[in-house]
Amino acid sequence: MVKIKFLTLKDMDLENKKVLVRVDYNVSIKNGMVEDDTRLKASIPTINKLLEKHCKIILMSHLGRPSELLKKGKSFGEVKKELTLMPVAEDLADILGMEVILAEDSIGLDSVSTHLPEGDIILLENIQFNRGETKNDDKFAKQLASLADIYVNDGFGQSHREYASFCAITKHLPSCAGLLVEKEAKELSKILNPQRPFVAIVAGAKSDKIGALRLLAKKADKILIGGVLANTFLKAKGCDIGASKFDEGTFAVADEIMNVAGEKIKLPSDSVIADSFDNDAKTKIARTGEIPDGWMALDIGPETVISYKNELKDAKTILWAGPLGVFEMEKFSAGTKEIGHFIGSLNAVKIVGGGDSAAAVNSFNLVEKMTHVSTGGGASLEFIEKEGKLPALIALDNCCNRPK
């Protein structure tokens, strides 16, 4: 396996430099305010390190998907108003206790303004307002690079994207990883060469876990399946899942994965089922394969909780990717909560793969009991699937290995 290498902040001469930092501030905005500032706080160590070195910091991030709104016929002005990073700048200023200036007109559809406002910390407007970002456009990357002396990637959650602000830009500036990206790569690498027994929990509702599952089928000692993924595997085995949701993409490869993994894969023996997708729904416990018509599985059942704890108890490495039920609803949170607290009590390397599983860990106040909670759901899974070779990290590796 070829190991990705990259420079870090300690390798760079940062004193009094202009530093362009790619962060991941793609957060939910409600009523003009940031709903969850976890991603903002994750970037603070790198920002503080740069401030110590008297750097001028230019942050860049995207928010939402401007191109989709433009395709739907909204004007550029309407999109700018809807997906501005102004609420992020305000929230970040509160966290840091210092001014963060949003460069409101910095990013155009085909341009970058080089006339930035004065200030120690500048946040460029939504980087995806420029069409070149998602195309990994070299001209756009060169315009961004003209703003600074050094480039820092501290946006792990988007490092699996081949975007200009992650990849092409490294051709035009001395480049390194920020403290967050350095930490993510170090901690997630523990999954690639795990202490054994290695147990993976793979659950949730998304179909983005197929690649990781293929690798885990060979690498893990046990794989505990939950959520929509469990419904999908059970349906593939011919079990009646009632009205339970399943994923078509995973269904198509479920047999292949089960054939490779064999007895490593553990599926629920019972579920908490409901007559509707609602916290006020009628509920009961049903054995696997015995879900009545019109009812749906929304959490693992008490027997499965006991069984999964037994599978986890001797683990030395645990990967948790996806909640085991609809934990956002109190009636269907018990399985995720109980397994989460049990994992927290174990003496093992415990890696939480971002996304909904990270939200669950936050919800149940378990962050401090985990070895690492990733800031990137899709990025962490792709890191595992591709054994560390994410596009943005490859770009840093190429930059590191270029002749000086």
CA dist list (Å): 273 to 232, 234, 245, 325: 15, 15, 12, 11
Helix spans in 224-313 (H): 227-236, 248-261, 302-312
Nearest to 122 by CA among 82, 93, 83: 93
Q: Which is the catalytic residue, given 155, 157, 226, 378?
A: 378
Q: In sequence order, what are the residues at sequence separation of 6 or more whose Cβ sits closer than 8 angstroms to the Cβ of residue 48?
A: none
Instruction: Encode burial over 14-31: b for 16+ CB neighbours within 10 A, e otherwise.
Output: beebebbbbbbbbbebee
Query: Max CA-CA distance within the chain?
Result: 67
Q: Which two tokens stand for residue 195?
A: 């202490």
206 part of the active site: yes
39 part of the active site: yes
Nearest to 242 by CA among 214, 274, 264: 274
Nearest to 292 by CA among 303, 306, 276: 276
Q: Which is the catalytic residue, given 17, 39, 266, 350?
A: 39
DSSP label of 317: E
Tokens 């509707």 map to which residue?
276
Q: In sequence order, what are the residues at sequence separation of 6 or more whose Cβ sits closer than 8 angstroms to the Cβ of residue 311?
A: 199, 222, 224, 266
Nearest to 176 by CA among 6, 4, 53: 6
Q: Which is the catalytic residue, given 178, 301, 335, 355?
A: 355
- Secondary element (H or E) of residue 121: strand 121-124
Q: How far apart are CA 261 and CA 353, in angstroms?
A: 21
Q: Which is the catalytic residue, given 22, 206, 264, 337?
A: 206
The beta strand positions in 353-391, using DSSP E, are 372-373
Active site residues: 39, 206, 355, 378
